[in-house]
Structure 1
Amino acid sequence: MAVTLKEVAELAGVSRSAVSRTFTDGASVSARTREKVEKAAKTLGYRPSLIARSLATNRTKLIGLVANNFQNPAFLDVFDLFTSELQKRELRPLLVNLSGETSPRKIVELLRQYSVDGVIVATSTLPTSFATAFQTAGIPVIHTFGKFQANANVHVVGIDNEYCGAMAAQTFAERGYKTVALLGGPESATSTQDRSTGFVQTAKKLGLDVAKISYAENYTYQAGRDAMREVLDDRRVEAVFCGDDLICMGAMDAARAAGQSIPEDIGFLGFNDIGMASWDSYSLTTIRQPIRDIIMSSVELVVGMVENPGRSPEIRLFPCSVIDRGSLRPVTDP
């Protein structure tokens, strides 16, 4: 049988309200009373009810973590970091798998039923209106990996994807490539759209020929392998910028299956820098997204936002960097 608050109060020789205040954050209780209550609770093995505490404080300490792309290893790292960082702050993540759901209404209603204190939308594949729907419902929200907009009306933490696309084009130019291709993630993803814009515009400025633009159906190895077959139709392509490392690995294996050597016949540039990118079988040159920094900042922001829901929206962008391995030819001398 679970130990009750009444039993703790009787052993400590205090009122039940004194026990309740002892285990309520910020409640007033004397040092002597706290000592007696904590000693009695330890003796009896009492654990305060989190549900009862939430009713008293009107705070559940639940943070909705809304995401998709669970099949991609990069997102498993994201979930690991998010859940551990929230739990360190005594917050409890409530994970919601969108599973193809693109209408926010059902998800908003689900999280309202759980009375979450805040929501983190952790995906780049949804439009900005998805996060805005939570704000409209009165739920504090952060869009992590969301689209950068100067006039955003919700908190956004992530990167400038358009600039990252420009970085990819610049990387190809530095290595002497002339005819290149883009193999993006799903075309509907805002991150894909922005990286494509930055890549194509900068490639043209640098005199590169973007001979092929193709999109993978999802962020998986097989989707990358399938989409690469279309790119291989144009034998002029010297290098391919992929919108995700796992997509890029599928594309690399498709190129090898077609008899092409990497990087001698064709080069590859990935995105994210997942652990597998450093494997000898791929040695993938990639653009590293500072995932840990983004998540730490998101958790810090959601904690502050829950305590001050009226704070003005912030845009926090982090720089990316090229991690040079062996899937591209070396930088050419000027």
Structure 2
Amino acid sequence: MAVTLKEVAELAGVSRSAVSRTFTPGASVSAKTREKVEKAAAELGYSPSLIARSLATNRTKLIGLVANNFQNPAFLDVFDLFTSALQERGLRPLLVNLSEETSPQQSLNLLRQYSVDGVIVASSTLPPSFAAAFQEAGIPVVHTFGKHQGDTPVHVVGIDNVQCGAMAARCLAERLYRTTALLGGPETATSTQDRAKGFLTEAEKLGLRVVKVCYAETYSYEAGRQAMHAVLADDAVEAVFCGDDLIAIGAIDAARAAGRQVPEDIGILGFNDIAMAGWDAYALTTIRQPIRDIIMSSVELVVAMVEAPASGPEIRLFPCSVIERGSLRGAP
């Protein structure tokens, strides 16, 4: 049977409340009492009940992590960083896999059942209204990788996708490519729309011809490989900006299967800088999104909201950078 708080108190010769305070972060307890309690707890093999503590404090220390892109290897890094950052702060993640679900109600009901203290929506494909639904329900929420806009009702942490799209256009222009294509992620995703907007606008300024605009159905290898066929139908295309590294890797294999060498016959530029991008088989030049900075900032914000709700939403955007490898011809 589990050792009880009462048994620890009796062995230590202190009150039950003294035992409770000893295992409550920030609670006042003398060094002498703490030593007695910890010694008794060690002898009995006692561990404080998190469930009991949550009932007493009205805090579960659960943070909902809502995502819908589990098939992408990039999310493995995201999940690892999120869980580590939460656990370092004594918090625990409650994972919600949306799959094809786009309505927040089911997720909201689940998170309410577990009485989460806060929510992080980690997705660039969900609309801003999704995260706003949690805010309206009174749950502190941060939209990570979300679309930033002036009237957003929630905290947003991520990047400026319009500027990143423009960065991609400049990257290709600097390498003297003149006829290009855009192979984006899902067309309905706000991140895809913003990257496309930035790329197309900057390309026009630079005199860069964009002769093909295609979209992959999902952020996946197979979707990228399939969508690349439409790009390869135009022999004039010299380089392709892909909205995601998995899409870009699929595009590279599609080009090779069609007898086109990368980068000799066609250049490929990716986005995200996942681990596979650095594999020798692909050596993908890509635009790195500062995932760690974004995640740490998201956790910092949601914890701050739980401890002391902020007066208004905050937008935190981090700069991206081009990671040079071998899927584009060298800059002059």
TM-score by length of 1: 0.97
Measured against aligned partners, the alpha-carbon deviations of 1:249-281 in whole angstroms (never above 9, x if no partner) come to: 000110111111111111000000111111111
Q: Displacement of 1:320 after TM fit?
A: 0.3
Q: Counterparts of 1:36 and 1:261 in 2: how far apart (Å)?
A: 71
- Which residue of 2 is the match for residue 14 of structure 1? 14
Alignment of 1:170-181 (within 5 A): 170-181=170-181
Is 2:122 the counterpart of 1:116?
no
Aligned amino acid, residue 112 of structure 1: R
Q: Counterparts of 2:259 and 2:141 in 1: how far apart (Å)?
A: 48
Aligned amino acid, residue 163 of structure 1: Q
Is 2:136 the counterpart of 1:107?
no
Q: Counterparts of 2:276 and 2:222 in 1: how far apart (Å)?
A: 15
- Which residue of 2 is the match for residue 315 of structure 1? 315
Q: Displacement of 1:26 after TM fit?
A: 3.2
- Which residue of 1 is the match for residue 220 of structure 2? 220
Alignment of 1:140-151 (within 5 A): 140-151=140-151
Look up the SS of the partner of 1:286 in the other structure.
strand
- Which residue of 2 is the match for residue 62 of structure 1? 62
Q: Counterparts of 2:315 and 2:237 in 1: how far apart (Å)?
A: 37
Look up the SS of the partner of 2:157 in the other structure.
strand
Measured against aligned partners, the alpha-carbon deviations of 1:140-166 in whole angstroms (never above 9, x if no partner) come to: 000010102133221111000010000
Look up the SS of the partner of 1:261 in the other structure.
coil
Alignment of 1:1-334 (within 5 A): 1-332=1-332
Q: Counterparts of 2:302 and 2:267 in 1: how far apart (Å)?
A: 40
Q: Displacement of 1:220 after TM fit?
A: 0.9
Q: Counterparts of 1:132 and 1:97 in 2: how far apart (Å)?
A: 18
- Kept after mapping to 2: 8 A contact 1:305/1:311: no
Measured against aligned partners, the alpha-carbon deviations of 1:308-330 in whole angstroms (never above 9, x if no partner) come to: 12332111110000111111112
- Kept after mapping to 2: 8 A contact 1:182/1:214: yes
Q: Displacement of 1:248 after TM fit?
A: 0.3
Q: Counterparts of 1:262 and 1:181 in 2: how far apart (Å)?
A: 15
Measured against aligned partners, the alpha-carbon deviations of 1:18-49 in whole angstroms (never above 9, x if no partner) come to: 22222223333333322222221111110000
Aligned residues: 332
Structure 2 unaligned runs (5+)? none
Aligned amino acid, residue 293 of structure 1: D
Aligned amino acid, residue 310 of structure 1: A
Measured against aligned partners, the alpha-carbon deviations of 1:36-91 in whole angstroms (never above 9, x if no partner) come to: 22221111110000000111111111000111211111111110111111111111
Aligned amino acid, residue 93 of structure 1: P
Q: Counterparts of 1:176 and 1:170 in 2: how far apart (Å)?
A: 10
Q: Counterparts of 1:165 and 1:116 in 2: how far apart (Å)?
A: 36
Q: Counterparts of 1:143 and 1:97 in 2: how far apart (Å)?
A: 15
Percent of residue pairs identical? 78
- Kept after mapping to 2: 8 A contact 1:24/1:57: no
Q: Counterparts of 1:265 and 1:281 in 2: how far apart (Å)?
A: 17
Q: Counterparts of 1:311 and 1:158 in 2: how far apart (Å)?
A: 20
Q: Counterparts of 2:304 and 2:311 in 1: how far apart (Å)?
A: 9
Q: After the TM superposition, which segments of 4 or more aligned residues of structure 1 sit over 4 Å from their partners?
A: none
Q: Counterparts of 2:83 and 2:166 in 1: how far apart (Å)?
A: 32
Q: Counterparts of 2:27 and 2:78 in 1: how far apart (Å)?
A: 35
Note the aligned Cα RMSD (angstroms). Answer: 1.1
Q: Counterparts of 2:7 and 2:241 in 1: how far apart (Å)?
A: 65
- Kept after mapping to 2: 8 A contact 1:66/1:97: yes
Aligned amino acid, residue 51 of structure 2: I
- Kept after mapping to 2: 8 A contact 1:164/1:195: yes
Measured against aligned partners, the alpha-carbon deviations of 1:117-160 in whole angstroms (never above 9, x if no partner) come to: 11000110100001100100000000010102133221111000
